Amino acid sequence: MTNAKSDAESPTESPTESATESAALNHNWWRGAVIYQIYPRSFQDSNADGIGDLKGIAHRLEHVARLGADAIWVSPFFTSPMKDFGYDVSDYLDIDPIFGDLDAFDEMIATAHRLGIKVIIDLVLSHTSDQHPWFVESAQDKNNDKQDWYVWADAKPDGTPPNNWLSIFGGPAWTWNTARRQYFMHNFLSSQPDLNFHNEAVQAALLSVARFWLERGVDGFRLDTINFYFCDQQLRDNPAVDPTLRNADLASDVNPYSFQSHQFDKSRPENIAFLERLRGVMDEFPATTTIGEIGDAERSMELLSAYTMGNKRMHMCYTFDLLSETPLSAQRLATILNEFENNGADSWVCWAFSNHDVIRHVSRWALSDAQIKLFACILMSIRGSVCLYQGEELGLPEADIPFDQLQDPYGIAFWPDYKGRDGCRSPMVWEQKEAHAGFSSATPWLPISDEHKALSVDSQVGIANSFFEHYQQFIAFRKQWQPLVEGDYESINTDGSVITFIRRFQNQRLFCAFNMGDSTAELNLPEGCAYQLIDNALYAASISDASLRLDAYSAAFVQLS
């Protein structure tokens, strides 16, 4: 495949495919898929510079295949000044040299596909780097071809920003540009200006970016901050939020961003039409998928339903409901699942407990070893697809990164009340006794904790009752039972510390029970059924007279007929 880049501002031809080839594809592979998220800086270094890269990913994909994951999601690797570690793109159509080049990308794709693994890449469309040529041109003056490709606005008469919008990373969402004598908007760092999606040329350019990577062989996109694409054209002020309703997560206790109801700077109704245009591009490439990230605590379920309903928008989205700091009890989980069923039963969600933006759930919820394993079973039993974050299968806790080694601008800004995201982004641990745990022969870009080294891949693979073996066995179990992959719910109930639900697919019905408490529990099985307790090699349970007995922090699966 050639390394020549296509023009992001001009359409390209879609690939041709015979009817026979199309019929052979599993167009719905993403429904119920287990997706393994890779943070490329921290997965595997292949060139001894202390930073992970694409060749390193290709080298370690056997681990993902051994685990049993269906796909990988690779966080950004595009050309970038790395002020937000790749989420500030300066060239959508090339690879940053620290990660490799397009040949290395092709090698990674080929290796993944040879192993039966789909490849989803991270597209950051809401904003670019201020070093992107589009912004460099736009910022020159008010009379150039890209003068309205970003969100520009005049100052108020007193010189202050156009409105009260805030940046997630702290301070106003506006920065003054002396060349234009105007402010530009940025939801994140001031070096991440927001694109103006009200401009049709911007939309066309971004859709061509998607085509470029689809033609290169990717199987889908994870779409960063999907609800941030449009802002209010009138630039109206956001209203305040009742203090009792403020979001309690993502450093909001030290960041005034949560003091506002974000009605005008994101989650705008115009977003829907663009998502439909993007889905149209995806449909030119059979058996591809999209995962949208919805960052809106006030309207998460509403937006998830709106963005995924039918077959003309996103295939699936994820919210932060299970990525929050609030401990996960049986009652809270049931509330979330029932809310999803009531508001988005025809939609598809991608669930996750951890990712590159939040404290690892092992530490966030202070889980014991038994809880880590149980929570893995819960995550992979609820209706939807699943994202596992690298190291999650090892039971990794949050790493403690000292301030003098901190890299994350978010953490640096709010230290020590909020330590940022470096603790979940520290390098993967492969070999316990190797230098830097086998991640690199050079000093890694973030330190590796001794606690993580003790949980390395080589200390768990093939070891009975290890976290890795537990995840591997349950993924295999999940694939044996189609109700767990794509079945509907028949009921969702709680009884004290126990949550139960029935998953149904065609003529198969599976009763799932999870004891999230620290003592033995007994519960009645559904009436009018014959029962067969399924031995999944992970938990022991017993049935007597239509009563199911569950040990503390354990699960049971019962086939109903």
Active-site hit among 9, 94, 107, 284: 284
**Active-site annotation holds for 296:** no
Give the dihedral sign, CA 193/199/201/207: positive
Give the three-class secondary structure for 208.
helix
- 152-153 sheet: strands from edge to edge: 152-153, 182-185, 174-177
- Measure the CA–CA gap between 423 and 216, rounded to whole angstroms: 33
- Measure the CA–CA gap between 221 and 314, rounded to whole angstroms: 10
Q: Which two tokens stand for residue 355?
A: 């990712």
What are the angstrom distances between the C-alpha of 510 and each of 427, 485, 486? 38, 11, 12
Q: Which two tokens stand for residue 334?
A: 């049931």
**Active-site annotation holds for 284:** yes
- The torsion angles phi and psi of 435, rounded to 5 degrees, stand at -60, 130
- Measure the CA–CA gap between 186 and 181, rounded to whole angstroms: 16
Of 458, 481, 513, nearest to 60 by C-alpha is 458
Active-site hit among 45, 88, 219, 224: 224
Q: What is the DSSP letter of 393?
A: G
Cβ neighbours for 548, distance < 8 A, ≥ 6 positions apart = 513, 522, 523, 524, 525, 533, 541, 542, 556, 558
Residue 182 contacts residue 153 (beta carbons within 8 Å): yes
Q: Which two tokens stand for residue 293?
A: 């990230």
Amino acid at site 445: W
Per-residue exposure over 475-506, b if at least 16 CB sit within 10 Å of its own CB, e if not = bebbeebbbbbbbebeebebeebbbbbbbbbe
Give the three-class secondary structure for 117.
coil
- Measure the CA–CA gap between 196 and 215, rounded to whole angstroms: 26
- Measure the CA–CA gap between 296 and 228, rounded to whole angstroms: 9
Q: Which residues belong to the active site?
A: 224, 284
